[in-house]
Structure 1
Amino acid sequence: MAEKPMKDSRSLITELQNEIDRVIGPHLEGVEDFALVDFPNHSNVGDSAIWLGEETYLQKKLGRAPSYVCTYDTWSKEEFERAVPAGPILIHGGGNFGDLWPSHQEFRLRLLSEFPDRQIIQMPQTIHFSSAASLKRAADIINSHKKFRILVRDVQSLKIATKEFTAPVDLCPDMAFCLGAQSSPAAITRKLLLLLRTDHEKVERKGFPPLPNVAVVEDWLVEQRGLGKWLFVKALLETAPLVLKGRKPSGLDVRIRWFHLLASNRVARGMRQVGSSAYVITDRLHTHIFCVLLNVPHSVLDNNYGKISTFVDAWSKPFEKLSRPLSTSVAEALAKFLGSSAPRDQG
């Protein structure tokens, strides 16, 4: 099969945004109130990028913010039913569909069990089960629901879903692409950033090669102490003007604004981290996506179950500043960096 022609950042982003709308748009026709649930209230930048992309797309498509939002552990059935009497439940996308991140999976299955007649759309996910028993249990619950639609980010997930589940399944790019092309918010101060996972999706890399003096090794999980509390106060202040419009802001109003501020702050942090680097090596999917959004030359490695390579094969392989073929080791990625000429203008 012939290689797809190379594409610049803006062309690829526009193409993927159009594909997202082609896949999701028809299922939102006539929607007014809706819920967007399972907010990622943790420091991982990538999950916040998905949330912010979902918000951006839905605001553009439907002209409004969600009527109800929650984390997996702050869900209230009563509050949801008051806010969204009949509209759909949209479940936040990402890489937690399966048994690797059980709290999010249990929440997903709970929603399907509690609302067998409600339209539920799983925003684009990667599916991974390590246990046959976990997969069977999920299939039993999913296959009893008549209005569940699953969006997946890669062909491997598509194969699992179409084989195991009776729900309709669509292949769809990651929602972070809805953030659009970005200008770097930081000056280029680092020649090489290795942004590598430190959580339980990391690959144990034996014999880590010697790094050049210009290299910086980081993850993107560390954030400002007390950020959540400070942004909650900011959300309170920003929703206060609702009083001038004749209504007292509710706890839900504050929560919707707070989640937006949290996600925006985390995404901005990640953009500064990636944008300040002339060349990036990463095993995080959304660092790769940020490199596309910021037009940064980079090499990618896989996580521990192949999430990145399957995504790249489906969507972002044509990006002209992605080193090919995909690297299988840090040493190989370093060789590509050392062989590259003037990765980015540092002037």
Structure 2
Amino acid sequence: MNTLIRHIKHYIKYGFLGPFLQYISNEKNLNKLKKNHNIKRIFVMQTPQHGNLGDHGIAYAQKDFLLKNINDFEYIEIPFEEVFKKARTIKKMITSEDLIVIHGGGNIGDMYLYEELTRRFIVSYFKNVRIISFPQTISFSNTLLGKIALLGSKRVYRKNKNFFIVARESKSYEIMKKEFGEEKVLMTPDIVLSLNKRGENDRKGIVTCLRNDVEQKIDNSFKNDLLKHLKEKYQNVKVSDTRVDYRIFISQRNEELQIIWETFRNAEVVLTDRLHGMIFCAITGTPCIVFNNFNHKIEYSYKNWLSHLDYIKFTQSDNIDYIIDLIESLKCKGNLNLTEGINSGNFSTLIRLINNLAYSEKIKEIS
């Protein structure tokens, strides 16, 4: 019943009231969006201002990736809370030469329905503009509500011939092709894996970065026992997280990310059940033990992109002695080869798609 009520509230707020805001929003302070006719623009929409550093890592990496690959475009970021308010103004000035990028992540589904409804609005409202949804995980529940939500998304995404979507692991890729059409789906790693944040470090102690929310899969009793054993065995154990309990605005993003990257970079081993806990370890060259979460995003991201890294270990074991042995084996690695990471060629299909949409008059097939 609570889930049903939550879904109804989200449909009312983001499915009906949200789009209505475009007609009553104040256009004050939107002058910076006015068209400079000599410059094409990328509107990056639905970026975070909440406290999830994984999402902020995505926003940081998206900007870095886009400016490196199409640097003759002006970059304009529209946070999630401003999408409906600014949509009407943007629509008045946007042209077919501009691009819209929708923030990547793991929210195509019914768990974070407010995100999914906002994405649907963008795709349907800006139907004459070329749109790319950056690397995402799809996860609709097998409930009646989940099935209804999937049907709604399928209808919107299939209808827009200018919309393309990127999966960040193979399970999502297969689901998206089936539901949204093969012609509009491609696969790359999570965009944060395009970053390299390795550097000087002073590795001391163990860092934990464990969930305490609906996406958690590991048992609370196991988590508590594990923390107890870690603190008994190791002198320096730091409890950390990639989620903070305060809002992070665009101007604060870089500083907050540098803090968490520095924490990871100076750990001997990180234990995490967060996707971006694992990814932050990969990009900082930090030994890591990864536990699964409630869906497929961690397991398949590891299998597809990170299983070759001998400093990242994925496990579904709840045997604490085994986990301690893993920690000891990773501690022995010391400072790692700073060039060891993922293959940048894994993003080549996304680069081709961006350049195709940015510079071609006619959209070519994805390949």
The one-letter amino acid paired with 2:317 is T
Q: Which residue of 1 aligns with 2:345?
A: none
1:165-244 maps to which residues of 2 (within 5 A)? 165-166=180-181, 168-184=184-200, 187-189=202-204, 191-208=205-222, 209=225, 210-213=228-231, 214=234, 215-222=237-244, 228=249
Q: Which residue of 2 aligns with 1:329?
A: 318
The one-letter amino acid paired with 2:94 is V
Q: 1:198 deviation in Å? A: 2.1
- Hey, what's the Cα distance between the residues in 1 that align with 2:331 and 2:134? 39
Query: Mean alpha-carbon deviation: is it higher for 208-217 or for 102-111?
Result: 208-217
- Relative distance call for 1:84 and 1:328 in structure 2 (3 A) is farther
- Hey, what's the Cα distance between the residues in 1 that align with 2:64 and 2:264? 21
1:43-192 maps to which residues of 2 (within 5 A)? 43-63=51-71, 66-75=74-83, 76-81=86-91, 84-86=94-96, 87-130=98-141, 131-166=146-181, 168-184=184-200, 187-189=202-204, 191-192=205-206
The one-letter amino acid paired with 1:52 is Y
Q: 1:285 deviation in Å? A: 1.1
Extract structure 1 runs of 4+ deviating beyond 6 A: none
Question: What is the alpha-carbon root mean square deviation over aligned residues?
Answer: 2.3
Q: 1:294 deviation in Å? A: 1.3
- Hey, what's the Cα distance between the residues in 1 that align with 2:171 and 2:331? 35
* Secondary structure in structure 1 of the residue aligned to 2:80: coil
- TM-score, normalized by length of structure 1? 0.74
On the 8 A contact 2:49/2:248 being kept in 1, the answer is no
* Secondary structure in structure 2 of the residue aligned to 1:38: strand
- Hey, what's the Cα distance between the residues in 1 that align with 2:253 and 2:92? 25
- Relative distance call for 1:201 and 1:103 in structure 2 (3 A) is same
- Relative distance call for 1:174 and 1:226 in structure 2 (3 A) is closer
Q: Which residue of 1 aligns with 2:49?
A: 41
Q: 1:162 deviation in Å? A: 0.9
Q: 1:64 deviation in Å? A: 5.0
Gaps of 5+ in 1: 1-30, 229-258
Where relative contact order (Cα < 8 A, 6+ residues apart) is larger, the structure is 1
- TM-score, normalized by length of structure 2? 0.70
- Hey, what's the Cα distance between the residues in 1 that align with 2:252 and 2:184? 33
- Relative distance call for 1:182 and 1:64 in structure 2 (3 A) is farther
Q: Tell me the alpha carbon deviations over residues 246-298 of structure 1, each in whole angstroms, 9 at most, x when there is no partner.
A: xxxxxxxxxxxxx2x33212211210221221111111111111111111111
Q: Tell me the alpha carbon deviations over residues 175-200 of structure 1, each in whole angstroms, 9 at most, x when there is no partner.
A: 1123224215x6434x2112101232
Q: 1:339 deviation in Å? A: 4.5
- Hey, what's the Cα distance between the residues in 2 that align with 1:54 and 1:35? 12
Gaps of 5+ in 2: 1-38, 336-367
- Relative distance call for 1:282 and 1:66 in structure 2 (3 A) is farther
The one-letter amino acid paired with 1:104 is E
Q: 1:68 deviation in Å? A: 2.8
Q: 1:203 deviation in Å? A: 2.0
Within the candidate set 295, 298, 307, 1:305 is matched to 295
Q: Give the number of equivalent residue pairs.
A: 280
The one-letter amino acid paired with 1:146 is K
Higher helix share: 2
The answer on 1:267 being equivalent to 2:277 is no
- Hey, what's the Cα distance between the residues in 1 that align with 2:247 and 2:123? 34
The one-letter amino acid paired with 1:172 is T
- Relative distance call for 1:226 and 1:195 in structure 2 (3 A) is closer
The one-letter amino acid paired with 1:149 is F
- Hey, what's the Cα distance between the residues in 1 that align with 2:242 and 2:180? 34
Q: Which residue of 1 aligns with 2:349?
A: none
- Relative distance call for 1:297 and 1:64 in structure 2 (3 A) is same
- Hey, what's the Cα distance between the residues in 2 that align with 1:161 and 1:40? 24
The one-letter amino acid paired with 1:90 is V
On the 8 A contact 1:275/1:294 being kept in 2, the answer is yes
Give aligned-pair identity as a percent.
23
The one-letter amino acid paired with 1:212 is L
